[in-house]
Structure 1
């Protein structure tokens, strides 16, 4: 995978805000100047040292086939050992921009509380990017010939303990070169990021009878075909040739009645998707007490309360991207509870 050249961008204002956020971490690095300690890599990156410079990700997303609403949900990977990446590295700073970032630290010297930390941060960063350890004069002679790549955090995974695992300081990568660094942005990483961006509709199934049903009466269940359909998200990094499209397709509905005193249709509780893309079949008059292709039959009243019926949709996930003809990601699940009141059938004795 080769990365095409970035066009010029200005990050002076964000860089200053970034500096303020980093000052506490810089204090921890006082005894280990960046660029001289930690685990190095072939592109001059340095791991560890505390106070890692993080950039704001420039990844953009475009959705097809659906949109996020207040009822949209997030997929839970069926493979519990896998999650989308919490962080990665991507092109972030030109030589002029990394210089502006370092100089922005110097402007913090006169601020209350921060004061000396700003100077310390500037000294440490100068040592790395200006004084030749490992970069000299901010790589000005390479302006327009590459970028400093920096760590970014997945905004959807900020509570993930791994979010700080990308702890290398910004490192230089020439145009059309691929950095030999774990978690350097790639089509696959973008595809995995898009996994979290998929607009999964709220899982509320249609029921008949609706709201209240009777003991031993089959309750039909189905999904709205207009709502539960294939959706895609394309994640791309502007000014590069890196992009990926992740697609989710509903494949089955699992029903959990909320009580052991119930039977599901089919007996497994798994309602597969039909050839026409439907899951379950809407109830219509005349079907009476027929067994539904997808549904539930309660064997005992819910009394003065209700049962929490849980409906979970399984989504099959695949992706395509730069240099990839198509691959799979772990299936995802999203479910929700809805209350079902079950009453005894009242009979009249004559």
Structure 2
């Protein structure tokens, strides 16, 4: 079966006709570094890429918005995509006549792209449906629709960089102190299968009932680890992994006739 294509979202700073209100606090001006392009680093995750060319802010008193140049605003062009983070407009001076256009820093664009990744924790499924049974195998799996690569692209100055997050492992916390790690989303329980059969790739067997726990249920979490890579402008890189967490509550009961085979 073909591997699913990653979801993508294309967002970048674009030249605009924006003008700041006369009575408003002016956004910070960022001048392009001498040897590179504008470096924009939204503070969403802890920075894992050191800026190749740091950007120094220039105060309004130093001529913000004056001379040849334009205000740039952040826009997403993918249908149905809206960026959840507010990014203030920035003033970018035009290159001097005859000077080469500044080239954006691919590593900085890569971090922009990573910050745009929209990762959601897949839905938790368990079998038996409803109550789990002491000493009988519980099948664990995540909604396959949520176990796909996710990608986002950041672009500026004709340079585009794409970050891709790939789910590689899920760690289950079953609420009774038990933990299970799986390298796949898990296998759904087949209709008509033997209820005493174990999952081929991701399962657990409870040894105690939840009715003795506070609230009468066990909290179940599934923490998915995503490996994140990026590529663009002839360069590649790797970010520290990201995680998402899905949660549910499950009741575990003890039915001797089913768990021991007694009458």
SS of the residue aligned with 1:308?
Answer: strand
Structure 1 residues 340 and 189 mapped into 2: Cα distance closer, same or farther (>3 Å)?
same
Match of 2:166?
A: 249
Partner Cα distance (2:84, 2:189) in 1: 42
The correspondence for 1:288, drawn from 173, 195, 203, is 195
Match of 1:70?
A: none
Contact 1:215 1:298 in 2 (8 A): yes
**Structure with the greater alpha carbon radius of gyration:** 1
The correspondence for 2:124, drawn from 197, 205, 210, is 205
Contact 2:122 2:146 in 1 (8 A): no
Partner Cα distance (2:224, 2:136) in 1: 24
SS of the residue aligned with 2:115?
Answer: helix
Match of 1:312?
A: 223
Cα deviation per residue 1:180-222 (whole Å; 9 max; x = unaligned)? xxxxx52222221222222223332221112311111211011
Partner Cα distance (2:226, 2:164) in 1: 9
SS of the residue aligned with 1:194?
Answer: helix
Number of equivalent positions: 219
Partner Cα distance (1:281, 1:331) in 2: 24
Structure 1 residues 336 and 8 mapped into 2: Cα distance closer, same or farther (>3 Å)?
closer
> Is 1:21 aligned to 2:28, yes or no?
no
The correspondence for 2:153, drawn from 220, 234, 237, is 234
Contact 1:211 1:339 in 2 (8 A): no
Match of 2:80?
A: none
> Is 1:214 aligned to 2:218, yes or no?
no
Structure 1 residues 302 and 171 mapped into 2: Cα distance closer, same or farther (>3 Å)?
same
Shift of residue 291, structure 1, vs aligned partner = 2.6
Contact 1:311 1:337 in 2 (8 A): yes
Alignment of 1:2-21 (within 5 A): 9-12=16-19, 15-16=20-21, 20-21=24-25
SS of the residue aligned with 2:129?
Answer: coil
Contact 1:89 1:151 in 2 (8 A): no
Alignment of 1:162-201 (within 5 A): 173-174=95-96, 176-178=100-102, 186-201=105-120
Structure 1 residues 208 and 245 mapped into 2: Cα distance closer, same or farther (>3 Å)?
same
Shift of residue 173, structure 1, vs aligned partner = 5.0
SS of the residue aligned with 2:210?
Answer: coil
Shift of residue 337, structure 1, vs aligned partner = 1.5
Contact 2:117 2:151 in 1 (8 A): yes
Structure 1 residues 82 and 191 mapped into 2: Cα distance closer, same or farther (>3 Å)?
same
5+ residue gaps in structure 2?
1-12, 35-39, 75-82
Match of 1:108?
A: none
The correspondence for 2:233, drawn from 309, 319, 322, is 322
5+ residue gaps in structure 1?
1-5, 26-39, 44-56, 60-75, 91-120, 131-136, 164-168, 180-184, 274-278
SS of the residue aligned with 1:192?
Answer: helix
TM-score, L = length of structure 2: 0.65
Match of 2:7?
A: none
Partner Cα distance (2:14, 2:207) in 1: 67
Higher fraction of strand:
2
